[in-house]
Amino acid sequence: MGAHHLTPLPVRRSVRRLRWFKASFRDQVDKLSAATGVTFDIDDAKQGQSFLEWLRAFEAQKPDETDARRDYVGFAAGLMLQALVRGRPLTVRSLPPGADTSNPAYYWPEGYVFVAYCLNIRAAVLAQDFDEARDTAPAMDEIRSWWSFRENTDADPSLAIAFLDLFSGEDPDWTTPGVFAPERLKVDAPRFFRAAQIADAKGR
């Protein structure tokens, strides 16, 4: 994204600065506007509120363990999507004539910008810090996923975290999407509970 020049810091650090966030988000909006013909209005104050909500949520669950960092990148991007969906700092001013609303970019243009932005941030951090190239999953282009995404996040914005996993090809946690659990713990948890059950049965 063009706004990377604002600070010489890596994306994982830059994104925690409000000025960078605003500039890079605007950059994303401009690029999608140019590609789709949809025009948007950005609410500057709401954008700031979304950022601060995200930053608080980000800091609250940031893991200390180095081996959880990679998983936290995806989770943090999901938290950002949650904050954007909840704060709605973007509104559509106009759609191009004849826009095909079975295309996710026209069906829910604001949501599409939010998802694109969060996926781009996620991809940039994974590329810079973990040398990983990421692509989107087929669900990103399926209108049914977007119907579900819009309807469900309207009712519960925390589901945005699970939907971002879905769009990026990761395994979503639909039950407690707002609670960070590294992959290692997801594997260990069933084992832990099984062990507890066995101990409980022996105790009886």
User: Which residues form the interface with another protein (CB under 8 A)?
Assistant: 6-7, 16-19, 22, 44-45, 48-49, 52, 55
The structure tokens listed for 179 are 């609670």
Please say which residue, 21 or 146, places its beta carbon nearer to another protein. 21
Which tokens go with 54?
Answer: 């995200």
Which two three-digit tokens encode residue 172?
């979503």
**Please, which residue, 23 or 164, has the CB nearer to another protein?**
23
Q: Is 172 helix (H, G, I), strand (E, B) or coil?
A: coil
Q: Which is nearer to another protein, 76 or 140 (CB)?
A: 76
**Closest distance to another protein from the beta carbon of 47 (Å):** 8
Q: Cβ closer to another protein: 48 or 172?
A: 48
Cβ 6 to another protein, closest distance in Å? 5
Q: How far apart are CA 82 and CA 47, in angstroms?
A: 13
* Shortest Å distance, C-beta 1 to another protein: 15
111 neighbors 51 (Cβ within 8 angstroms): no
In the complex, the smallest distance separating the C-beta of residue 194 from another protein, rounded to whole angstroms, is 43
Q: Which is nearer to another protein, 15 or 113 (CB)?
A: 15
For residue 163, what are the CA distances in angstroms to 36, 47, 52, 74, 152?
22, 21, 21, 11, 10
Nearer to another protein (CB atom), residue 50 or residue 158:
50
Closest separation in Å from C-beta 89 to another protein: 11
Tokens of 44: 């500057």
CB of 23 to another protein, least distance (A): 9
The CA–CA distances, whole Å, from 106 to 19, 77, 120, 129, 151 equal 28, 23, 19, 33, 16
The torsion angle over the Cα atoms of residues 165, 170, 174 and 176, rounded to 10 degrees, is -80
Stretch (H or E) spanning 128: helix 109-130
